[in-house]
Structure 1
């Protein structure tokens, strides 16, 4: 699977139509009769603009009451979604960080929640704990400290929030709601201090309910341990039950400073309605949408635009936290394109900044925590939700203000007549906008012509599907850094692990359960090794009882030998993973792939698993006992359908299976088994395959298939479970045609993006000619577009079409 930045989309996809004047802003002046004075009117982002409706009057009154903004930001964690960012080369790593956190550059996040790692999978991976075993604290594990440091370097005012998803199993003997977890969280705060970080907010246990006594004990402990200024957030679950309890239990209410609820607008919804509760509002506490989103970094932009405004309008929520910050994970990992950016290829440096970033910037670059909402100057345009919403906030200087307007559902242009009063500045108004319906990055975060109010009055015509920010502030900007081209991680690949500091994670190694980190090698071996650190089952966040494993590599790796030195520290087993691909993050983390497993007693097996947990033993046997505390070399060769396992250079068994054709390598152990790994090597074997035979989608592992095995001209092409049928056998001719049945060609009726692939009698036309590229893409000669599975779908029957090449896994094909 290609590990580049990808974009999921609905059927048809594509950008909005662009008119002949779309290159910039066009000023418009309104007649004096409209406002009683000549006004240097709002810049209107044109295109084929609809006629404006009757004007809506909005007063921006600095004397209006309202709550203080706590911040707009996102989550790093829940879990592992930021993992690969730290491995990016410079300058790309700094470019991405600037787009996330630097004021006046990109998303300019004001608030960041980070996972307090617990050695267990919490959606897109597992993050390491600072205390794997009781009393053994290492404040340099993982990458969240580094990310918080980078965020604070760029924006010293960013607020930081800590929250646990899971935890090591020693805590409370498996009971999170214990004094052990309170001590554990305080130790994490102590670690933050060693990094020069002040944590502003601390939560309990993500989406696992709440215990009022525990929160009261947490508050008293924080106060006693020098953390009285750390505000407690409760309960990071669904609904506002904690706020209800705070009214019944004043001691609990006094312990908590923020009530945070998840997906207040509905889970992965359009975010059209975002209420809290009357009890929550009546507490007088800050209210947060403390986790929202879970949407694609581009496709989620409309929902994000609504939710940021409507959380305050509907529920007086002053904090909005998107899940997650970034998808810095390979495309087989769940939620591989969610966040505000995608960074899946540290080896190439390629990344992509999404529309979500610019929608977020429309608020974050024009406000700051501490600014006050102006309730009487915020609402729905014309009192109608379908027209869009607007919120106004004033600066702490009581003069500057910003109004953020979204028109996601509007049916046409609307004129807004503004009157500024209540001590706010009547000076120049700057206008920025994002056309959320457009996929052209030139239409995102665009500065228009300034407006000069007359007598505190001015007008703005807003187009449907936009976010606008009007402001008296300055300093906004759009970053200009550009991603390099995508590319595959080449074989051979090797790592001795000797170049890393103790406690860190090896380059590109992504933990999915347990914790694999760098330690000094055991049994007299010099240098550094990777060790699985989790000594007992964790307190899970997911419902599954998955065992520790970690992944590395490019999803296009197909035929190779993965070998590594392995030392078992206790009785149990270790395993090498080959062709690891898609996994299911709910329940046990079952994954498509092959496993070579060896126990300390010498029992070995070659196994296959899939996302449903259908384990199959393909071959097994016994060899001399490996024992514990001794080094051995394990090697696993995957060449076509032949799988070969070797121990210390001697082949112990082979198996034949063709279920999984490509994917990553990995390490694994049994539950609670500590083991060390050294001298990783991945080398290519065999031939790269031929273009004759089946053609599989790398992400779906399903074959390019003629619907219904039809041989009729015009029969559409889809993906389907590979079955060896004649409708799935393709040949590349010397004239660059892909033929099926011997006389039908893969064909498209036009060169337009979104055109459905089909079969047709071969004509020799360029619409039937294809380039099969080394990166796995199949590109139409006539169109220059990629053969694409619509919307990144993986289900049987998903449509195959032409689409702009974007490096997505749904445009990666494995041949032969």
Structure 2
């Protein structure tokens, strides 16, 4: 971890534009103003010539799906929901995304959640399932030119059902996709691109059938993308003419390396020889702030290294709960729909440096792209020209540069020699005022001008206009207070009830059964889907709420529609990657009357803490009221108002609530309620796993690491999810969410940046950001200021709380 902090010593510099008065001026570029003595690399000469060749630009986009990452966006209040949508899709405002890739739901987990299928059982199509249709409609309303791209991660279990798990590469799947295309048409959405099975290889004959089906169903204009996996598909297409003819776009994932810095983004000779568009059809998986530099490199270098003409970021937004694995990836972070709080990430602005200055259909100018000074470490640049060969935009990144770079521009071949506008984002700065800034306008002299480029920045030099930076600001964070209740009678924005996010299965509001009137929550998927993840426990469950909740009771009515077991979840804490485990308590109740209180962990190991049975079976077709009460370490189970048993366990002290079914059964729930327990106060030190070190508040504001001395400055009070010292709260400074944001003492205000969720491994997670309280680089020096950082379970992130 020590290397990560070196970047903090980098100094921010401004950029100086040098207007060239003659041909020789390019060889005499001066250092930037105010940076006396700063070395400047040799000049990179860039000729912008509209007559030179280049491939067609297909746009920069992002993915909604691959696991529930957009789920909470629909539940945001206005005006914050519209603000977030504007920052994503509105031209000239934020990311201005040009492609939106949509998950075709399959009732199964596909990274950080499950998205519902339109056809849980064969022949019954419901075009209103889920929230992707809503999101696509919102995107199209803001940008009528946006392109939609559909892709499947998992699929309902009836598809190709020749045995366990079904068969994705079947005619059933092709038919299913045609039904999905029909639903898109019902929602007035034109799908421009359609893929196969995400990251699961390819079947050439299946793609040929898909192409034929699109044509025969009237969707001939929809282009087929294959195979949303590796370059191996290009090798197969090179030797199979029928397969090649069926595929319009070669889409690969992470050509720059997975979760890397995206410094090298090659394709293959076979792929380039196909004469088809090559796309990075999934890239990203990067933090909304800390990953912006990688995205800036990737958008440029995909084309420079591999001639890829589209960069599609995963995911579009981190509108998901902080206890999920990829909780900060995307353009922005929106994990508090009840408060309306959100943060716009740097990734939004590095994306805007391309999307706000070039449109799909423009062309690259190959001769006006490359690496500054001929060295990859200096930075990269690409140039795109308009369809009428008049306007142009050059996008430059200097992520790895250690000194200022100088570039000279010569405009020719019919491109505009008029005024040039320069925009800049300083990624070394944590101040949003330094991101996506219109810095200067200039008029070339004799078609020439120059630019001095400082390290750690993205620049766009353009003749276009109409760009802008959104000015909306969110409200402060706030906890979701208890009591809380949902009788499922009030319609939500989508078919999912407010704040609930499915992890497997498909929970939606529907007419109640069992003789009850009104609307209930029903698990709709009746069979095990064709899965994308490989978790050893894949039963349906849905969860909601605030991770700082501690002592409370979760109650719900349950209807056993068939012989089955339902569950209430409490203190839902960290989820393992791709749902491969969950820190949580479960009250499980069967129609037979058998019940148990169980604890699960992030590897899906279950421990039974208490078990028993009611005196008579509960039976099917009737409603029963279940409750799980958590007060400190005492867990109590109740059925129909009678306490049937209890257990003592202190593994989890905080977390959300949820509902589940232990197998794919279509059971129902109603009258979900959360009631607060008795707040419990604990007082004492916060000790680090590093020997002899404690969290110390002797400074008036900063919280530091210090030798444990038992003094008053090291005494903290823990109440539910807050940690206080002398009446002030442990607070993430400025509601920050980025790695390295310091913590401090601040007046308690109930914000999520003052809420902390203890994890079973000893880490302490910020409710707002999902990052952990961290001792930088495992320092042991007294006075080291504590901060938040990506959770990694290291000794410098493990704490013993009072």
CA distance in 2 between counterparts of 1:269 and 1:293 reads: 9
What residue ranges of structure 1 are gaps of 5+ in the alignment? 1-8, 696-703, 711-715, 718-744
Which of 503, 513, 519 is the matching residue for 2:504?
A: 513
- In the other structure, the counterpart of 1:733 is none
Superposed counterparts of 1:780-791, under 5 Å = 780-781=744-745
Determine if contact 2:62/2:316 at 8 Å carries over to the other structure. Answer: yes
- In the other structure, the counterpart of 1:474 is 465
CA distance in 2 between counterparts of 1:646 and 1:95 reads: 43
Structure 1 residues 782 and 145: CA distance shift in structure 2, 3 A: closer
CA distance in 2 between counterparts of 1:37 and 1:572 reads: 78
Which of 312, 330, 333 is the matching residue for 2:321?
A: 330
Q: Is the aligned partner of 1:347 residue 2:338?
A: yes
Which of 544, 550, 555 is the matching residue for 2:547?
A: 555
- In the other structure, the counterpart of 1:723 is none
What are the Cα deviations for residues 630-677 of structure 1, in whole angstroms up to 9, with x where unaligned? Answer: 000001100011100001001111111111101011001022111100
- In the other structure, the counterpart of 1:484 is 475
Structure 1 residues 675 and 806: CA distance shift in structure 2, 3 A: same
Superposed counterparts of 1:359-508, under 5 Å = 359-500=350-491, 504-508=495-499
Structure 1 residues 333 and 694: CA distance shift in structure 2, 3 A: farther
Structure 1 residues 66 and 43: CA distance shift in structure 2, 3 A: farther
Name the SS of the counterpart of 2:321 in structure 1.
coil
Deviation at 1:294, TM superposition (A): 0.6
Name the SS of the counterpart of 1:403 in structure 2.
strand
- In the other structure, the counterpart of 2:100 is 112
Structure 1 residues 397 and 575: CA distance shift in structure 2, 3 A: same
Superposed counterparts of 1:274-293, under 5 Å = 274-293=265-284
Structure 1 residues 665 and 420: CA distance shift in structure 2, 3 A: same
Superposed counterparts of 1:5-154, under 5 Å = 10-11=4-5, 17-18=11-12, 28-29=18-19, 32=22, 34-35=24-25, 50-154=38-142
Deviation at 1:53, TM superposition (A): 2.5
Determine if contact 1:120/1:514 at 8 Å carries over to the other structure. Answer: yes
Superposed counterparts of 1:566-577, under 5 Å = 566-577=558-569
Structure 1 residues 525 and 320: CA distance shift in structure 2, 3 A: same
Which of 690, 694, 711 is the matching residue for 1:707?
A: 690
Deviation at 1:456, TM superposition (A): 0.8
What are the Cα deviations for residues 502-540 of structure 1, in whole angstroms up to 9, with x where unaligned? Answer: 970000001001111010001121110000111111111
Name the SS of the counterpart of 1:409 in structure 2.
coil
Deviation at 1:329, TM superposition (A): 0.7
Structure 1 residues 14 and 497: CA distance shift in structure 2, 3 A: farther
Structure 1 residues 763 and 674: CA distance shift in structure 2, 3 A: closer
Which of 771, 779, 786 is the matching residue for 1:792?
A: 771
CA distance in 2 between counterparts of 1:608 and 1:496 reads: 27
Determine if contact 1:121/1:513 at 8 Å carries over to the other structure. Answer: yes
Determine if contact 2:731/2:744 at 8 Å carries over to the other structure. Answer: no
Deviation at 1:247, TM superposition (A): 1.6
- In the other structure, the counterpart of 2:204 is 212
Determine if contact 1:432/1:470 at 8 Å carries over to the other structure. Answer: yes
- In the other structure, the counterpart of 2:759 is none
CA distance in 2 between counterparts of 1:341 and 1:503 reads: 21
Structure 1 residues 351 and 783: CA distance shift in structure 2, 3 A: closer
- In the other structure, the counterpart of 1:658 is 650
- In the other structure, the counterpart of 1:308 is 299
Determine if contact 1:44/1:448 at 8 Å carries over to the other structure. Answer: no
Determine if contact 2:17/2:451 at 8 Å carries over to the other structure. Answer: no
CA distance in 1 between counterparts of 2:34 and 2:90 reads: 30
CA distance in 1 between counterparts of 2:800 and 2:338 reads: 21
Determine if contact 2:696/2:713 at 8 Å carries over to the other structure. Answer: no
Q: Is the aligned partner of 1:233 residue 2:225?
A: yes
Structure 1 residues 256 and 18: CA distance shift in structure 2, 3 A: closer
- In the other structure, the counterpart of 1:730 is none
CA distance in 2 between counterparts of 1:378 and 1:807 reads: 35
Determine if contact 1:35/1:457 at 8 Å carries over to the other structure. Answer: no
CA distance in 2 between counterparts of 1:488 and 1:137 reads: 38
CA distance in 1 between counterparts of 2:182 and 2:729 reads: 50
- In the other structure, the counterpart of 2:736 is none
CA distance in 1 between counterparts of 2:9 and 2:418 reads: 36
CA distance in 1 between counterparts of 2:383 and 2:235 reads: 29
Name the SS of the counterpart of 2:361 in structure 1.
coil
Deviation at 1:706, TM superposition (A): 5.4
CA distance in 2 between counterparts of 1:642 and 1:797 reads: 36
- In the other structure, the counterpart of 2:739 is none
Determine if contact 2:75/2:492 at 8 Å carries over to the other structure. Answer: no
Deviation at 1:319, TM superposition (A): 0.7
TM-score of the aligned structures, taking structure 2 as reference length = 0.89
- In the other structure, the counterpart of 2:639 is 647
The 10-residue stretch of structure 1 (169-178 or 794-803) with the greater mean CA deviation from structure 2? 794-803
CA distance in 1 between counterparts of 2:800 and 2:669 reads: 30
Determine if contact 1:503/1:518 at 8 Å carries over to the other structure. Answer: no
- In the other structure, the counterpart of 1:181 is 173
Deviation at 1:440, TM superposition (A): 1.2
Structure 1 residues 664 and 410: CA distance shift in structure 2, 3 A: same
What are the Cα deviations for residues 372-429 of structure 1, in whole angstroms up to 9, with x where unaligned? Answer: 0001111111221111111001001210000001111111111111101111111100
What residue ranges of structure 2 are gaps of 5+ in the alignment? 718-723, 734-742, 757-763
CA distance in 1 between counterparts of 2:776 and 2:440 reads: 49
Determine if contact 1:748/1:756 at 8 Å carries over to the other structure. Answer: no
Which of 730, 751, 762 is the matching residue for 2:711?
A: 762
Determine if contact 1:42/1:449 at 8 Å carries over to the other structure. Answer: no
Which of 255, 266, 269 is the matching residue for 2:260?
A: 269
Determine if contact 2:565/2:663 at 8 Å carries over to the other structure. Answer: no
CA distance in 2 between counterparts of 1:809 and 1:390 reads: 35
Deviation at 1:585, TM superposition (A): 3.1
Structure 1 residues 45 and 68: CA distance shift in structure 2, 3 A: farther
CA distance in 2 between counterparts of 1:145 and 1:782 reads: 42
- In the other structure, the counterpart of 1:739 is none
Deviation at 1:136, TM superposition (A): 1.0
The 10-residue stretch of structure 1 (760-769 or 224-233) with the greater mean CA deviation from structure 2? 760-769
Q: Is the aligned partner of 1:593 residue 2:542?
A: no
Deviation at 1:705, TM superposition (A): 2.9
CA distance in 2 between counterparts of 1:296 and 1:201 reads: 27
Name the SS of the counterpart of 2:190 in structure 1.
coil
Name the SS of the counterpart of 1:691 in structure 2.
strand
Structure 1 residues 67 and 30: CA distance shift in structure 2, 3 A: closer
Name the SS of the counterpart of 2:155 in structure 1.
coil
Q: Is the aligned partner of 1:620 residue 2:601?
A: no
Deviation at 1:612, TM superposition (A): 1.8
TM-score of the aligned structures, taking structure 1 as reference length = 0.87
CA distance in 1 between counterparts of 2:349 and 2:30 reads: 21
Determine if contact 1:747/1:759 at 8 Å carries over to the other structure. Answer: no
The 10-residue stretch of structure 1 (58-67 or 792-801) with the greater mean CA deviation from structure 2? 792-801
Structure 1 residues 82 and 42: CA distance shift in structure 2, 3 A: farther
CA distance in 2 between counterparts of 1:42 and 1:119 reads: 60
Deviation at 1:759, TM superposition (A): 3.0
Structure 1 residues 771 and 93: CA distance shift in structure 2, 3 A: farther
Determine if contact 1:549/1:669 at 8 Å carries over to the other structure. Answer: yes
Deviation at 1:693, TM superposition (A): 4.9
Determine if contact 1:18/1:48 at 8 Å carries over to the other structure. Answer: no
CA distance in 2 between counterparts of 1:330 and 1:15 reads: 33
Deviation at 1:794, TM superposition (A): 8.2
Structure 1 residues 42 and 202: CA distance shift in structure 2, 3 A: farther
Deviation at 1:139, TM superposition (A): 0.6
Determine if contact 2:317/2:333 at 8 Å carries over to the other structure. Answer: yes
